[in-house]
Amino acid sequence: MAVILERDLERGRIAFQQWHTAAQQSLQTAAAITINPTLPRSTWAMAVRYSLFLLERRAPGPGVEVRVAPWGAVKILDGPESDPHNLTPPDVIELEPDVWLRLACGITTWNQEKDAGHISAVGERDDLSDLLPLTR
């Protein structure tokens, strides 16, 4: 199932840009690792979905599942697929929406968020730093 509908791609692109702009403005008064812009929930949802869509296009494959609850999950990178009995791939990365969007926009780095304990990752391919930020 697609993380975002084709008809919502433009809305998602705009939401992602709005989040990025709000986060950049917040950098003037807050540390990067704490950036959490005050935007409507629908903007957050579309920004997450659109950014996961970009990630999926950048690194297609069935090997790693990236989950950003409650708004989306994608499978990326080559590698072993899901176990047919439980449908969970061997590598799973879980992130909160604010953490994911900071990474996707290049506000913070993978190592900063990992060191702060904001990333839950299981498996051999638990580092997405080569794929981020999505804004480059």
pLDDT tens by residue, the chain, 136 residues = 579 999 999 999 999 999 999 999 998 888 999 999 999 999 999 999 999 999 999 999 988 999 999 999 999 998 766 565 556 667 899 999 999 999 999 999 999 999 999 999 987 888 999 999 998 6
pTM of this prediction?
0.92
DSSP state of 76: E
Q: Do 65 and 74 meet the contact criterion of CB atoms below 8 Å apart?
A: yes
pLDDT at 124: 80
Q: What is the CATH number of domain 6-131?
A: 3.30.1050.40
Describe the crossing of helices 9-26 and 41-58 by its angle, rounded to 10 degrees.
110
Q: Report pLDDT for 8.
A: 97
Cβ 77 vs Cβ 64: under 8 Å: yes
